[in-house]
Structure formats: structure tokens, C-alpha cells
Structure 1
Amino acid sequence: MAELGSLDETLALFQALGERPEGVDDVIPAARTLLVLFRPSALAPQAVAAWLRQAAARLETALTGKGDDGRPHPPEVPAAAIRRVEIPVRYAGEDLDAVAELLGLGRAELIERHTGSDYLAAFAGFAPGFVYLAGGDPCFHGVPRRAAPRVRVPAGSVAVAGDFSAVYPSDSPGGWQLLGVTPLRMWDMGRAEPALIQPGFRVRFRDLAAAGTVYSLPEHSGSAADADGMAGDLAGGRQAPDRETPASAAPHACFEVLAAGLQTLVQDLGRPGLTGMGVSLSGALDRGALRTANRIVGNPATAPVLENALGGLRLVCRGRAVVAVTGARAALTLRTAAGERLPAPLCRPLALDDGDQLQIGAPDAGVRCYVAVRGGWDVAPVLGSRATDTLAGIGPAPLRPGDRLPVGADLEGVRLAAVLPCGEIPPVLPGRGDLVTLEVVLGPRADWFTPEALVLLAGQEWTVTPQSDRVGMRLAGAEPLARSRHGELPSEGTVAGAIQVPAGGQPVLFLADHPLTGGYPVIGVVAARHLDLAAQIPVGARLRFRPIGPFEEILP
């Protein structure tokens, strides 16, 4: 993470980076930082830092001048090239009166100030379609986030926090202060440009309740706004499996879903390189289990699988197929069309005939099972991947009874490897109540916490609460983590494994569907080798964090 002095400096450096060296996978700009995702096997951290410093030196030389503050500013864009978007808002948010009281304003004056000037769409983050809007009336700068984020913020919510305003594109967790809601869809895969607002655009909010305000909603591919004029659930990025084509019409074998359990999703290795659109990697939580399942049936590692949480999945095979189930320790039941029960071990190839039923029971260790089929699940890709991102609402819809999943066509033309007849050894996974130790790298914001909090992070046990999902695990400890700094942290990029600590002091461990950026300090990050284990820790299990080294700056 490279820290800079201002948003202007950050955006200018981001634009000046040019071609990325081999080993740099992505760069995520934020309010005052650039987060560089790179592969240590290909590039040393010192080489990444040198690349950033060289770009900063080139920028300093290339800029024609500096702003009044003495800091470099990006070149101005001609006014004719600036795209403008108006956002109609019904100002009736849950936090509207609280923010007005905090700022010493009446409700009417707050609305007048929020709608009284343009905003610059600075950078994307948190989720697809979520863009940080800089500028506006200075009175809103420094409005704090909520002490504890809401579990669900409705799509279309207009909010403020720190120095920014924004609109939530989908139902999601969030800690910003809610001022109102707009009927516009920020993200719609049915549009030629899915993101309504993109970095560089100018944005103006309009009060729907103001006299004489008339606004026509733009066309989109999803359902219309609901009867109250508010945005409905984001559906533009979801692709439903085939629910109509009869099995006899399919050119390959297919599986029919008889029961989907609590949650069964299509997953692969995710969507790398799309952070500029606000799209994070996502993908399977236990990537090792995905790779193992594909390896057993001879698929490439990139083939999509089914990720089932807590069992309950029941499939019937229409035709012949070879499958493998990996991940959580759960009992498998395999019955023929005649009712005969056949052996069905985990981590072994299973040959299914027409009419055979496969069922996954509730796991007694771990959380998620992965089902691979030889030839792959033939599911339409969204933005180049079959992964379902639950936070962003992108990818195939969750499975439900009656869905039909074709087999084989997805990997036509790909040379498959041999099936592994002996399978692989299932891993040892934690059960409810077990104690699990995860290694962590401290930082990048360890200095925002007291020395006692750093000791407490590793010294006490943390319980996984039921408010946990693919976005992250919410943890509870006997003592919260106390900060040494109590100001607002400008939003910055985050990664899977980040341990983010809201003002309440109870940490959240980010998993695959985590927001792209966040505004609570990250005290440490789970080591990459333990991310698959973290994905299999059930509710009720206990965690200990073991720091494997101090946070260190990469100095010149």
C-alpha cells in the first residue's frame, strides 16, 4: 500500500503508472492510497515500491504546474469531455436527522447543501457501481461512519461518510450515514455501460420533493422501480440456470436440482483485473477444495464447481457423469434409480448413471462442500467468470429446486486430464466449538491501535458469530480492540483475509466477497496459506490469531 497526501496526488499517480511489471495483478486507487496486488513469487516488495517511486518521479517531471497547495494535480479535462449525471433523491434516510443535528443544520438546509454543488466521481470501490463522490459542500467533510456497520443497506441508498458521498448499488452491509434513496440503478448489466457513474464523471443530486422537480427514469434491463418509486433488488448481473429446457433436449448429460440446501452457488477462481469497474475477485472461498475437486475429475483448475454451504444439496443425474465432492466433512448419499445405495466417499471420483441421486448431508466439520463434474458445469459467464459474487450481485443466481445444469459443453475442445481413481486425502477441518489458529501479518493500520490492543488481538479467543457469510466473518471477543487514533480513516483498498475493526472494536474477517474498499482500519491480514482454512470455520468455532511478524514500512 502506497500512502499519499491527497486524493489529487493519488489519482495523478494512478494515471501515471503506465504498463504494469510482470507480477503486478491489480492496483486499487482510493482516497489517499494505492493498493498494489502482486505475486511475491514473481516480484519482490522492494521492486514494487521502486516501480511506484519511479512513476511518481516521472509524474513530477511531466506535470506543467502545481496547485496552490504545492502538491501535484492531474491535468485538467476539457469541459466538453466531462460527462454529467443527475441523481434524483428522496431525502428520508434513517440518519438524515442525526447528521443534520451533528452539523447544526435543519433538515431543509442539509438537503439544500447536499444538492447545491457538483461532485467529482473519484474512484470505484466497495462494490460494482459504488463510486466515491468527492467535493460537495465542505460541511459534509468529516462526517463519521457509524460505530457499527449495518448488516443490510438497501440498494439506492444515498449516503455520506468521511469526505465523500455515494450511492449503494445493491443491498449490502455498510457503515455510511444514510440521507435518502434514489430510484436509479447504479449498476445494471443490461446496459451497454453497466456503471451509471464512472470515475471522472460529474454528479449532481436533485431533491425529488422540491417543487417543480420532474424526473424520468432511464430504461434498463431489470424490473421497474417498485410502487414507491424506489429501486428494487439488483438483478442485472444475475444469470439464472436453465429452468425450462427438458433433459431429453440437452446434447450432454445434465443434473436436475431436487433440493439446494441453505445456499448453493456456482463458483470458479473469480474475476481478476476488474477493480477499475469496482468488481472484486470473488470466486470460491476454499480455492484449494475447488482445485482438488476439479483435479479428481480431470478438469482444469479454472472449471466452475458448485459451492454448497451446510449441506442439503440433492441432485439427480440425467445421463452419465463423473463427479467429485470435496471440502467440508459431510456424509454423501448416492442412490440409483432403483433405490440401491452405493458407496460415496468424499474426495473420490463417483460415476453416476441416469437417474442416480447424489445428496450432501450436514457437515460435522467445515462449512462448504465443492461439487465438480467432469467436463464442467455449462453455465453462462458474466464478465468473464462463472463466479457468484453475493455482495455485488454478479454471476449465476443461487440454485433452487427445478434448475437444470448441463454438463460437458463448457469445456468442449479442452483436453481433460485422467480421472484420479484413488482421489485425494480429505483435509482435517474444524467443527463447531473447536479452537482454530490463523497466522496473520500485522498492518497496514496496526498503528491505529493501542499496544494493548495488539497484544489482545493475539492473546484472547474470538468466537465466530451467526452474522457471518461469504463477505466476511463477524467475530466477538470478551474485550474489544481499542484504538489509539479515533479520527476517520479515508477509504482504502482491502483484500481477502483483512481483519477490519469498526469503531465498536469487534473485528470482521473479510472473505472472498469482501468490499473492494473500506473505511475502517485493518489491524492485520490472514496469511494467504490460511485463507482456505478460514473459509471452513463454522459459526460457534473459536479463533486465535498468531502474528508472524511486525508491520514494516518499505523504505527507500
Structure 2
Amino acid sequence: MRRILTASDRALLVEVDDLESAVRLHAALEAAPPVGVVELVPAERTVLVRCEPRRLPEVRIALERIALAARTAAADRCVEIPVHYDGEDLDEVAEHLGLSPAEVAARHQTATWRVAFTGFAPGFGYLVGDDPVFDVPRRASPRARVPAGAVALAGRYSGVYPRESPGGWRLIGRTDAALWDLDRDPPALLLPGTTVRFVDASRAHPATAADRRRGRPAPLEARAVDMPGDRGIAPAVEVIEPGLQLLVQDLGRPARAHLGVSASGAADRGALRAANAAVGNGHGEAGLELLGGGARLRLRGAGVLALAGAGVDAALVHADGGVEPVPRGAPTAFREGDELVTGFATRGVRALVAFRGGLALTPVLGSLATDTLAGIGPRELGGRALRAGDVVPLRGLSGVREAVAPWSPAPCALPAPGETVELRVVLGPRDDWFAADALDALLGDEWAATSRSDRVGIRLEGSRPLARAVPGELPSEGTETGAVQVPPHGQPVVFLPDHPLTGGYPVIASVVAADLDLAGQIPPGARVRFRLSGADVGRPS
């Protein structure tokens, strides 16, 4: 069986019978990708195929015709992971399996595990083993915090949490192995196809233990850069007050799904492009994304900045006490000692600030984007947000083209709290998992954006929860930015750039690409209406 499902206006989800078929399909697509395919996200019974939107119809035809690859051979790569078998759920797992805790540990070590696919978080591998005893239900209520290094079971999979995160898997042990290390090539220890053997940490030779996890990154220090500045001072931005959240963002790191890494990037990509255009940068140069406003940044040296995105009042406060308004979308020169001070957003929720020449930081996996879920960002920051005392060096005034015409945002283009914004969607891939009245509620009701929203997703609340027609768990599958995922409580979540690569709740619809920037600017208290897009992307075959 093979079904081609619509995942968005730029992606298709191919569903097959089982894990082996999914692995073979992924291998076939990797070996000979159809024209227009951008990225593949394999999962338990599906492969998410991201492609150029204009190529979507021909990619669909190619996916219907492509033959599965030959049965996959055993991988040459094998790793050992030392485990302390003292997990919080070990006794419950043992009781469920009809074994003693010691027998669970022994059989977990005796089994040969293979990384079937990656997802959830960078470095997280879904391991399938050859011992049929391991079939363990997830916790009814996920933990808010699972520690890094936790070794866990769920269904017939085992896995190791690379970093602290929420999770509903059953914890049977812990390891000090570094599942994700940016100083390693590749940074993920567990890649698809890798064979894994777990060993008792108390008996493992010290040489088998991986590097210890690093501590919290220290504040950024100013460093010299070879660019001209005012009176020889290296240009930089010092964070005095970061506001609610201040992040380094660019257009993201696409095509890293094989490492378990989502693209991330600015929540309003158009605003970042506009700010960069105003100061004469290339459109993909990194800038600062400010949530809600309320920031105060001291500027060192001389340079040019521009502000775009959310409606915030901003001004340069000069060292002599003078105040100069900073208009949105226009280049503004600054001098040594000036401070950029922003008010709070009245429309939209995220302002983007670009500096001529860009930020002199070290990319990770080819990008400076900060992924708040995965904890990946500029190397100097270790994936965290900027905080008071950080100093971000700038490249300065040379090496960039002339500034272009200022950006003029349409009046009232962004929503304010209490207003209603419309997002266009395409249905799928799992709209058939929902009752007919759920589709009526999705498209007919207004949904309130709650204060629990963040860069992972907009958490919505409505008067009619979206009722399921298909019970049970959905095997994890790839998800898109803009996906409207529905947890068991029936209140939808619209995924934003820092969403997990794979998810186990059904996606009823997906916001079209043209409306993603608008989605990234929806503030808490605004209301959302979904409308079916006029784009003909087809239905499942």
C-alpha cells in the first residue's frame, strides 16, 4: 500500500505499510530524487517530501511510480552507549513486560538496535531492536522535563534524549554519552542506519565513555574585528536590556533533516529581508529578532541599522542626551555610545533589527539561526537567547552594497491583540482522522492565540475542541512549519520555525507558505480564522 498525502502547499507525505518499506522508500528517493525535491524526512511509516511548490504535481506523479530500493544491508557503523540502569520507570516497565528490572537491563543490552530514523530533537534517533519483548506504551501524561542522557523506551523503540526536554517515553536508565556534539563531524552520534549496542556503564571501559556535556555558555565578550569603526572602536552591540526575548536569527538551516535538525530561522522572514535591504545587506544576513519590544541596546563604533516587522516605537538616544526617532524600514546611522531603545509592540509581536555588514559570529551547521527547541545557534551563544551583558560584534561598514529603497509596510498589516487575522490553509495530511464537525469548527470558528505561544507554535483555544474520528496513537511522522497539529485535548497548535522535525499528533491542515510570516507575527490575545486556500494541491491518492 502506498498513499500520497498533502502535507502543505510545498510538501507531500508518502505513507507505506511498515518501517522496512519506509526505509527502502527513503533509500530510493535519496539515490534518485525526483526533480524539484528539496528535502526528505523519513519516519516510522512515512517519508515527508519537501519540494519546490511549482513542482508539486510532477513530484506527486514521480512518488507514485518510484520503486522501493532493495532490502537495506546492515550498516557498517556501530556505536556502544554505556548506560546506568536506574531510570524512574524501570520497575513499571519490568512489570509491564513480565520481567525483573535486571532482566530488562540485560535484554536491552543483548538486543541489537538500529537507528531507523531521526527526529524530535537534534541527535535523537528512533532505535528499533531485534528483541520482540520490547513493546512499551508511552506515559499517559508526558513529563515536562526529561534530563539529557535519559535512556528510554516507547512502543517498540528505544532512544536517548540528547538534551533536557519534555517527553512521554519510559525512562529506564541514563548515559553520559554525548549524542550531539558540534565539535564532532557529523555532530550527531546516531545517524540513520547506525547499529547501536547498549552496555552496562559500571562494566564499561572508561575509554568507551563519550565526552561530558558542556556547561552553560558564558556571556559574549567583545572581540576585535578588522573593520573600520568610529575612532578605531570595533563596532558591536551591547545588550543592556534584552526585552522578553532577543535572538540571533537568519533565514535558517534547511536540508539538515538527516541530522534531526529543523530549519528554524526568523519567524517573519520578509521582515528580516526588508531590514537587510534597508541597510544594504544580502537578504539572508543575520540580525536580531526581538519579541514584544522593551529592549535597550548600546551601540559601539559607527554603523547603520534598520528596524522592520512588528510595530514598535524606537529611538536612538545619543550620548549627549538627544533623541532621534528610528523609522521602520529605513536606514538609520548610529555613532559610538548611542543606545537603541524600543517600546512595546502595538501590532505584531516580533521586530527584526539588521546592521550593515551583519553580525560577526560563528555559524553552526551553516547558519546563525537560534533554534530555541533544539538549543542550536551561534557557536558563541551555545543556542541560548541573548541576555544583559552580552556584546555582539559587528562586521562594520565595508564590504556591503549601497542601501536600497526603504521598506514601507502596509498600514495595519499586522494584527493587534483583540483583532482577528485570517490564515489560509490546505487540508491534510491527517484531516481524515477527524470528525466532520471538527473540520466545520476548524474553518468556521475563531481561535484565540494564548500566552503559551512561542517560536515552537501558536497555541490556540476555541469553544469547540477538534474531535477525532480515529482513536489511538499516530506513528511519528515529519511535520512542516505551519502545520496545524491537534493534541488529544483538541485545541490546535500552529507550528512556527522551531517546531520538532517529527511529531506523533495528527496534523489536520497546514498554513500556506505565503501566510507563514503573518503567522509568526500573531500576538497573544489576537484571534485566528482559518480559510481554505484556493491553491489546488490535490487530495490523497
Post-superposition shift, 1:358? 0.6
Instruction: State how far apart, in whole Å, the 1-side matches of 2:490 and 2:140 are.
Output: 9
* Structure 2 residue aligned with 1:66: none
Any conservation in 2 of the 1:46–1:554 contact (CA below 8 Å)? no
Which amino acid is 1:29 matched to? Answer: P
Whether 2:244 is the aligned partner of 1:242: answer no
Whether 2:177 is the aligned partner of 1:184: answer yes
Which amino acid is 1:56 matched to? Answer: A
Which of the numbers 319, 331, 336 marks the counterpart of 1:337? 319
Which amino acid is 2:59 matched to? Answer: V
Which amino acid is 1:123 matched to? Answer: F
SS in structure 1 at match of 2:67: helix
Post-superposition shift, 1:220? 3.0
- Structure 2 vs 1, CA of residues 312 and 366 (structure 1 numbering), >3 Å: closer, same or farther? same
* Structure 2 residue aligned with 1:218: 209
Mapping of residues 409-420 of structure 1, within 5 Å: 413=399, 415-420=400-405
- Structure 2 vs 1, CA of residues 293 and 110 (structure 1 numbering), >3 Å: closer, same or farther? same
Mapping of residues 97-246 of structure 1, within 5 Å: 97-100=91-94, 102-103=96-97, 107-141=101-135, 143-146=136-139, 149-208=142-201, 218-220=209-211, 222-223=213-214, 241-243=220-222
Aligned-residue Cα RMSD (Å) equals: 2.8
Which amino acid is 1:178 matched to? Answer: L
Any conservation in 2 of the 1:347–1:425 contact (CA below 8 Å)? no
- Structure 2 vs 1, CA of residues 31 and 219 (structure 1 numbering), >3 Å: closer, same or farther? closer
Instruction: State how far apart, in whole Å, the 2-side matches of 1:204 and 1:447 are.
Output: 39
Which amino acid is 2:263 matched to? Answer: L
* Structure 2 residue aligned with 1:533: 518
Any conservation in 2 of the 1:446–1:551 contact (CA below 8 Å)? no
Which amino acid is 1:119 matched to? Answer: W
* Structure 1 residue aligned with 2:352: 370
Any conservation in 2 of the 1:348–1:424 contact (CA below 8 Å)? no
Which amino acid is 2:18 matched to? Answer: S
Which amino acid is 1:51 matched to? Answer: A
- Structure 2 vs 1, CA of residues 448 and 437 (structure 1 numbering), >3 Å: closer, same or farther? same
Instruction: State how far apart, in whole Å, the 1-side matches of 2:197 and 2:473 are.
Output: 25
SS in structure 2 at match of 1:456: helix
* Structure 2 residue aligned with 1:77: 74
Query: How many aligned positions are there?
Result: 519
Instruction: State how far apart, in whole Å, the 2-side matches of 1:206 and 1:426 are.
Output: 62
Mapping of residues 385-464 of structure 1, within 5 Å: 385-396=367-378, 397=381, 398-408=385-395, 413=399, 415-420=400-405, 424-425=409-410, 428-464=413-449
Any conservation in 2 of the 1:332–1:359 contact (CA below 8 Å)? yes
Instruction: State how far apart, in whole Å, the 2-side matches of 1:119 and 1:423 are.
Output: 56
Instruction: State how far apart, in whole Å, the 1-side matches of 2:231 and 2:154 are.
Output: 53
Instruction: State how far apart, in whole Å, the 1-side matches of 2:231 and 2:106 are.
Output: 60
* Structure 2 residue aligned with 1:7: 19
- Structure 2 vs 1, CA of residues 37 and 241 (structure 1 numbering), >3 Å: closer, same or farther? farther
- Percent identity among equivalent residues? 49
Instruction: State how far apart, in whole Å, the 2-side matches of 1:498 and 1:37 are.
Output: 13
Which amino acid is 2:115 matched to? Answer: A
Instruction: State how far apart, in whole Å, the 1-side matches of 2:221 and 2:188 are.
Output: 27
Q: Which moved more, 1:380-389 or 1:109-118?
A: 109-118
- Structure 2 vs 1, CA of residues 499 and 324 (structure 1 numbering), >3 Å: closer, same or farther? same
Post-superposition shift, 1:295? 1.3
Instruction: State how far apart, in whole Å, the 2-side matches of 1:249 and 1:222 are.
Output: 42
Post-superposition shift, 1:416? 1.4
Instruction: State how far apart, in whole Å, the 2-side matches of 1:493 and 1:184 are.
Output: 26
Which amino acid is 2:351 matched to? Answer: C
Whether 2:486 is the aligned partner of 1:491: answer no
Which amino acid is 2:33 matched to? Answer: R
Instruction: State how far apart, in whole Å, the 1-side matches of 2:212 and 2:94 are.
Output: 36
- Structure 2 vs 1, CA of residues 506 and 112 (structure 1 numbering), >3 Å: closer, same or farther? farther
Post-superposition shift, 1:200? 1.6
Any conservation in 1 of the 2:266–2:289 contact (CA below 8 Å)? yes
- Structure 2 vs 1, CA of residues 470 and 146 (structure 1 numbering), >3 Å: closer, same or farther? farther
Which of the numbers 264, 270, 277 marks the counterpart of 2:259? 277
Any conservation in 1 of the 2:267–2:496 contact (CA below 8 Å)? yes
Any conservation in 2 of the 1:116–1:136 contact (CA below 8 Å)? no
Any conservation in 1 of the 2:317–2:323 contact (CA below 8 Å)? yes
Which amino acid is 1:14 matched to? Answer: H
Which amino acid is 1:13 matched to? Answer: L
Any conservation in 2 of the 1:442–1:551 contact (CA below 8 Å)? no
Which of the numbers 48, 70, 86 marks the counterpart of 2:59? 48
Post-superposition shift, 1:294? 0.8
Post-superposition shift, 1:110? 4.0
Which of the numbers 498, 516, 523 marks the counterpart of 1:513? 498
Which amino acid is 1:195 matched to? Answer: A
Instruction: State how far apart, in whole Å, the 1-side matches of 2:318 and 2:393 are.
Output: 20
- Structure 2 vs 1, CA of residues 463 and 116 (structure 1 numbering), >3 Å: closer, same or farther? farther
- Structure 2 vs 1, CA of residues 371 and 87 (structure 1 numbering), >3 Å: closer, same or farther? same
SS in structure 2 at match of 1:370: strand
Mapping of residues 27-46 of structure 1, within 5 Å: 27-41=40-54, 43=55, 45-46=56-57
Instruction: State how far apart, in whole Å, the 1-side matches of 2:272 and 2:108 are.
Output: 47
Cα distance per residue 1:173-206 (max 9 Å; x no partner): 3343333332222101123432122222222334
Instruction: State how far apart, in whole Å, the 2-side matches of 1:194 and 1:303 are.
Output: 24
Which amino acid is 1:50 matched to? Answer: I
Instruction: State how far apart, in whole Å, the 1-side matches of 2:321 and 2:169 are.
Output: 55
SS in structure 2 at match of 1:12: helix
- Structure 2 vs 1, CA of residues 353 and 56 (structure 1 numbering), >3 Å: closer, same or farther? same
Which of the numbers 6, 28, 41 marks the counterpart of 1:16? 28
SS in structure 2 at match of 1:394: coil
Where in structure 2 are there 5+ consecutive unaligned residues? 1-12
Where in structure 1 are there 5+ consecutive unaligned residues? 64-72, 224-231
